[in-house]
Structure formats: C-alpha cells, structure tokens
A and B are shown apart, each in its own frame.
Chain A
Amino acid sequence: MSGVPLIWYLLLSFGLFGLGLLGVMRRRNPLLMLLAVELMLNSANIALVGFARHWDNTDGQIFALVVMAVAAAEVVIGLGLVVAVFRQRLALNVDEMSSLKG
C-alpha cells in the first residue's frame, strides 16, 4: 500500500471528533449542536474508511455508507423538531399579544 499513512487519517479524525465534542458541550443552540454531532459522526466515518484501507477490506466502507444514511435520518428529525419548537414559541407569543389587546 502506498499513499497517505494511516496515522494521518486518524489524526484528522481525532481532531474532528474532539471539535465536535467541544461544540456539543459549548454550544446551546440546537441547530449548532446538531451540526457538531454531524461532525462527530463524520469523524468516525473518516476513521472507518482509513481503517478499511489499512486492513484492505470493505467492512469499514460499508459501515461508513450506512452511517451516512443514519445521519441523514437523524438530521431530518432534528430539523423537524427545531421547526416545530420554533412554531410553538411563535404561537405562544402571538397568544400573549392578543390577550394583552383584551
């Protein structure tokens, strides 16, 4: 095998995972937290693909493809919930306004 050695893939993946974890812990905005979780999932994908290259089998690549599909499903639910929360809050505010008008 030639090309980039495994350790560089791993360093990149560790770095991204750490950034994602930091983001999840530091941010309080749900959208940004979702973004940080995506970073963590994708860092695992880089590690999986790097290891798949190292072991010269496809298990890791298949795993990474499955993870992409799963991550997409999670984001869809997440964005849906964020929108629903936003709408609910908006509706509450509108109610308050109308009650003030009496």
Chain B
Amino acid sequence: MNLAATTPILIVAAAATLALGVGLVPGRAAERYGPTAVAIIGLVAAAVMSLVFWGDRIEAFEGSLHIDRFSMLLNLIFITAALAVIILSIREPGAVARRGEYASLILFSTAGMMLVGAAGDLIVLFVGIEILSVSLYVLAALEVWRERSLEAGLKYLIMGAIGSSILLYGFALLYGATGTTRLGEIADALNGSALGGEPLVLGAVVLMVAGLGFKASAAPFHMWTPDVYEGAPTPITAFMSTATKAAALAAFLRIFTAGLADIEADWDLIIGVVAAAAIIVGNVAALLQDNMKRLLAYSSVGQAGYLLIGVAAGSIQGAEATLYYLLVYLAMTLAAFAIVIIREREVIDGDTVQALAGYARRRPVHGAVLTLAMLSLAGFPPLSGFLGKFLLFGSAVEADMIWLAVIGALGSIVSLGYYLRVLGVAWLGDRRPSPAERGLESPPLAGLVTVTSGLAIVALTIAASPVLDACRSAAESLLAA
C-alpha cells in the first residue's frame, strides 16, 4: 500500500478537516487565527514532505498513485499557490464570514490537485479533478450576499460539470478501447497495437481534450472564464488561475505525454489546434478589457495556450518546458493578482484598470513588481517569461510544429498591447476625479506575497539552470515506465 509515500496528500487533507473543526471552536482568537494558522502549518509540512520524497518513483496503492519527481514538483506549485492565497485572503470579506470553511475548502482543493498530479489511474485522476472542482464551486460562490459571486459559482458549477462529464465519457471510451483504467497498463496496451486511429480511441482523445480544456480554460472551452474570474472573490480567482491551471496541465501530461505516448499521431494535432485557438482568442479578447480581473482571465486563456504547446510537442523537452513555464506563470500571476487584491481593498471599483492610474508612482515597489509581472507575462527578454516561452516554442519546432511556434510568437506580440497598457496606466495615468476610497485594510502580509512573487520572477531568470534541471528530471520521471 505504501501509505508513507502519500503523506503530503494526507497532511493537506488532515489539515483541511482540522481547519474546519478549529473554525467552530468558540473564542475570538481561535476563531480569528485558528483556521489560517492550521492551513499554513499543514501546507508547509506538506511542502517539506514533498521535498523529502523528491527521488525515485514510489508506487502507492498498487500503482494508483505515482510518487515521483513530477508529482512532487507539482505539489510544490499547488502548495505555493494555496499558501499565497491563504495569506492574501486574510480579512477578505468572504473569508472573514466563514473562516473555517474557507481555509478548509482551499486545502481540500489543494489535496485534489495533488491527487491529479500523482494519479496513475483514470479513476484517481477523475476523483482528484472532482475534489478540486467541487471545492472551487463553493469557494467562487462564498460571498453569498453578492449576486455576482453567486452567479460566478453557479456558472462555474454548470460549465465545470459539463467539462467533467465530457472528460468522464472520454475516460469511459479509453477504458473500452484498452480494458484497463491504469495509465501504465493503458500505455502497455497501446504499445505496438493497431488501436491508433480506431474510432473508439479517437473519440476518447477528442472528449478528453475537450473535458480537460474546460478545466484549463483553453479556447474554445473558455467561455465561462471571464465571468467566473470577475465574479469570484479575487484571492479565489488567483487560486483558480494558477493552481487549477497547473492541475489541468498535470492531467494533460499524465494522460497524453505519458499514457498515450504511443499514439501521439492521433492527438498532437488536436492539442496543437486547441493551443493555437487559446493563444489567438485569449490575447485578442484581452485587448478589449477594462476590468483587471477580466483582462487577467483572457490573459490566462492565452497562457493556457502557451502551456499546451509543450503538451502538443509530446516530448520530454515539451513536458520540461511546460513545467518550467508553470512555475514562472505561478510567480507572474500571483504578483499581478496580489496587486489587484491590495488595490481592491483601498478603493471602490479597485478591480478596474483605471483604478491603477498613477498607482505605480505612489507605490514604486508595487509598481516595480507589476512591471516585472506584466513584462514577463508578455515574454519580454530576458525575463523568465521569455525564457519559458522560448523553450515552449523550441519544443514545438523540434516536434515539426513550426506553425504553432509562429502563432505563439505572434500572440506574444499582440499581448504586448494590453500588458503595456496596464503599465502605461499604472505609471503615467492620472485619475480624475480620484476614486472613492473604500478604506478596507489590505491583507497584512500582502506586501510580502507581492515582493516574493516579484523576486521569484527574477530568481527564475537568474537561477534558471538548476530549476530547469529539476523540471527536466521531473519530466523524465513522467515517462519512466
């Protein structure tokens, strides 16, 4: 069974249950800081355990879970995102009203993501995706007194459930074609068989790409993204756009790059087309947005497209590039959202682009971080965002998909239009009349998250080679049978 190897997941799940209980303990201090403290301690412990298990693959529960470098690297991504979001949520209205549930649901969602990252079986993968989604449906709707939040939750639930059922049908067809739900055995069944190109397998591939496309918010399955990102509480939006996307990409890599490697000819073009569509739709639509959360939502659709390039390449090199870009994307997105969250507490309509007018001049440190995040998202050399995109495009060229690299490069040029507009407003803009103050305290440690994310963008640029080595060995562990 090998229970010990699953400790990172178990710790997070246990902390989630504990946080729920601590939220019920009477007394001001316990109620106020208890769940947050439990969540932070649990996440740090899980991160330490993930580092401990950084090594050769351990199979737990007879191969249902793969404790390898790939899953441990993803654990660190999920945990970092959850930690940042918990810190950014201190004094968030939705979190204050339901502290226990809030922390607990974030942790449950994280545990679900960790299951996805470690999944060696379609059933585990499906359950993991559902645990993370169902927790997020509730989190998106947690500010029940705000109609937009409720609508976001309901919309996310319905679109998410459609995505899940399409994905499930794909899994059912894949099981029908191969006779097993174990990813390793599926790979064996496909190896050297004549199953490639069979209608059953092709149907499974199309449905799985569509279902996971919903979860990764890649075009043309992205229509829910802007509304849900705008309506949900902003820290939850940050969590959805970083951790959920990483989980969906992990599922893509586990299923396609590892499980279906032998029938790559059946799926590389489909994923390539989805990636190209996401890059085009996301970057063009983002040009028209005036709301920061909507802008970042469309930007995340485009970024999902870049990330999928590494999956479409279907190689170790592609998986390595995707993993590295996931790390960079985490830092860039957290930096951008941290600033939106801070601004949102200060003024009414703080989530609009105009609310940032002149903000960078008044708060130069935050302005510098915002500049780093936006330039890196746009892929400005020499920042880590550029390096990540360069590796992704390189993997596409290597896989004879030059057209995909060209679309990606053109998309990056278009994206400069809106990323630079945000910077222009923040540094040069003037807002008259000055916005109505909202006067809420910003989260106490939000500055820390902002600066850390900014430093992480720089660190991923300067110390790129050890990080890339880690990504490389994680990608190799994915393909090691």
> B176, A77: Cβ atoms under 8 Å?
no
Residue B154 is within 8 A (CB to CB) of chain A in the complex: yes
> A30, B154: Cβ atoms under 8 Å?
yes
| Measured CA separation A63–B122 after assembly (Å) | 9
Q: What number of A residues sit within 8 Å (CB to CB) of B?
A: 38
| Measured CA separation A81–B156 after assembly (Å) | 11
> A41, B165: Cβ atoms under 8 Å?
yes
Residue B195 is within 8 A (CB to CB) of chain A in the complex: no
> B175, A51: Cβ atoms under 8 Å?
yes
> A63, B123: Cβ atoms under 8 Å?
yes
Residue on B with the closest CB to A59?
B181
Minimum distance in angstroms from A74 CB to a CB of chain B: 6
Residue B162 is within 8 A (CB to CB) of chain A in the complex: yes
Residue B166 is within 8 A (CB to CB) of chain A in the complex: yes
Minimum distance in angstroms from A50 CB to a CB of chain B: 8
> B162, A37: Cβ atoms under 8 Å?
yes
Residue on B with the closest CB to A55?
B179
Minimum distance in angstroms from A85 CB to a CB of chain B: 5
> A40, B150: Cβ atoms under 8 Å?
no
> A47, B161: Cβ atoms under 8 Å?
no
Q: Which B residues between 108 and 136 are near A, CB-CB below 8 angstroms?
A: 122-123, 126-127, 130, 134
Residue A93 is within 8 A (CB to CB) of chain B in the complex: no
**Known contacts A33-B158, A47-B176, A78-B161; A85/B151 CB under 8 A:** yes
Q: Which residues of B contact A60 (CB under 8 A)?
A: 172, 175, 181
Residue B390 is within 8 A (CB to CB) of chain A in the complex: no
Measured as residues with beta carbon below 8 angstroms from the partner, the interface class of chain B is 20 to 34
> B157, A77: Cβ atoms under 8 Å?
yes
Residue of B127, B147, B157, B176 near A74 (CB, 8 A) is B157
> A81, B153: Cβ atoms under 8 Å?
yes
Minimum distance in angstroms from B139 CB to a CB of chain A: 11
| Measured CA separation A43–B173 after assembly (Å) | 12
Residue A97 is within 8 A (CB to CB) of chain B in the complex: no
Q: Which B residues between 145 and 187 are near A, CB-CB below 8 angstroms?
A: 145, 147, 150-151, 153-154, 157-158, 161-162, 164-166, 168-169, 171-173, 175-176, 179-181
Residue A82 is within 8 A (CB to CB) of chain B in the complex: yes
Interface string of A20-34 (1 = CB under 8 A from B): 100010000010011
| Measured CA separation A74–B144 after assembly (Å) | 18
Residue B67 is within 8 A (CB to CB) of chain A in the complex: no
Secondary structure call for the B interface? helix
Residue on A with the closest CB to B155?
A30
| Measured CA separation A38–B127 after assembly (Å) | 16
Minimum distance in angstroms from A67 CB to a CB of chain B: 6
> B150, A37: Cβ atoms under 8 Å?
no
Q: Which residues of A contact B165 (CB under 8 A)?
A: 20, 37, 40-41, 44
> A37, B144: Cβ atoms under 8 Å?
no
> B162, A78: Cβ atoms under 8 Å?
no
| Measured CA separation A10–B177 after assembly (Å) | 13
Residue B137 is within 8 A (CB to CB) of chain A in the complex: yes
Q: Which residues of B contact A12 (CB under 8 A)?
A: none
> A44, B169: Cβ atoms under 8 Å?
yes
> A48, B123: Cβ atoms under 8 Å?
no
Q: Which residues of A contact B130 (CB under 8 A)?
A: 70, 73-74
Residue of B134, B166, B176 near A40 (CB, 8 A) is B166
Q: Which residues of B contact A48 (CB under 8 A)?
A: 172, 175
B interface, CB within 8 angstroms of A: 122-123, 126-127, 130, 134, 137-138, 141, 144-145, 147, 150-151, 153-154, 157-158, 161-162, 164-166, 168-169, 171-173, 175-176, 179-181
Q: Could you give 13 example pairs across A and B, Cβ below 8 Å?
A: A20-B165, A37-B161, A47-B173, A48-B175, A51-B172, A55-B179, A59-B180, A62-B123, A74-B157, A81-B141, A84-B150, A85-B151, A88-B145
In the A-B complex, the 8 residue pairs with the closest CB atoms: A40-B165, A51-B176, A55-B179, A47-B172, A37-B161, A44-B168, A59-B181, A44-B169
